[in-house]
Amino acid sequence: MRPPKAKSAAPRIAHYASARANQLALAAMRAEILGCVRCEALVRCRSRVVPGAGATPAAIAFVGLAPGRLGADRTGIPFTGDRSGVLLRRMIGHARLGRVFITNLVRCNPRDALGRNRDPAPDEIANCRPHLEAELALARPRIVACLGRVSWRAMAGPDVPFDPRARLTIERGGTILYAMYHPAYVNRGAYPLKTYARDFIRLRRLAAPRRRRLALDVAISCSGAAG
């Protein structure tokens, strides 16, 4: 009887080599972003630059608006340290989404004259776009979940309606864009938490391999019946 063939180590080695290459590319990109001074107003009011963070490659990338004054501007990690971050990460955990990358349209906290959060200006979003593109090129997500109207318009185009209740998805360059409310909107009580949780389950279904979608369809319809 012939001895069983030894499994080739080549795929594992290739996997580790590619993971290492990803880490190096991510570190180089972060270093470049951390030194960015393109937006004069934001350089003055930010505490730090907040590059995107998470899995590379990623199944899903979340793109929010900007680091928050009480959150990422303090912690240096997108969607941490404030109520929006807590809710987003709770929803990700609840839906058991794996391999996510989290970032924003801009990487510096925009403030108004009174020191409050403000929306980034169109030129600030445009200045930061190359950083976003570089992050997404590295994360290579199949799905980009756009958190809020401004993020959706920046990613999908100004003429595409923002309607998360319609579970809207469109495709851009091989990537699926998924419209979602920003967690701050849900925290204000403007959108039911239960429905928001279901939106994340739908996101999981979108990201799932085809064979698992049926089981998730059942889960979604059951949670719909309950809620």
Q: Which residues bind ligand SF4 (CB under 6 A)?
A: 33, 36-39, 42-43, 49, 106-108, 124, 127-128, 131
Least Å distance, CB 124 to ligand SF4, is: 6
Smaller CB separation from ligand SF4, 45 or 55: 45
CB 75 to ligand SF4: min, Å: 16
- Supply 197's token pair: 């949780």
| Nearest distance from C-beta of residue 182 to ligand SF4, angstroms | 18
Q: What Rg value do the Cα atoms of the chain yield, rounded?
A: 19
Place of tokens 């912690």: 75
Closer CB to ligand SF4, residue 65 or residue 206? 65
Beta bridge partners of 169: 178
Given the complex with ligand SF4, which of 66 and 201 has the nearer CB atom? 66
| Segment holding 178, helix H or strand E | strand 175-180
Using alpha carbons, select from 142, 154, 205 the residue that is nearest to residue 182. 154
CB nearer ligand SF4, residue 42 or residue 72: 42
Measured CA to CA, the distance from residue 176 to residue 190 in angstroms comes to 26
Minimum distance from residue 11 beta carbon to ligand SF4 (Å): 37
Backbone φ, ψ for residue 144 (5° rounding)? -115, 115
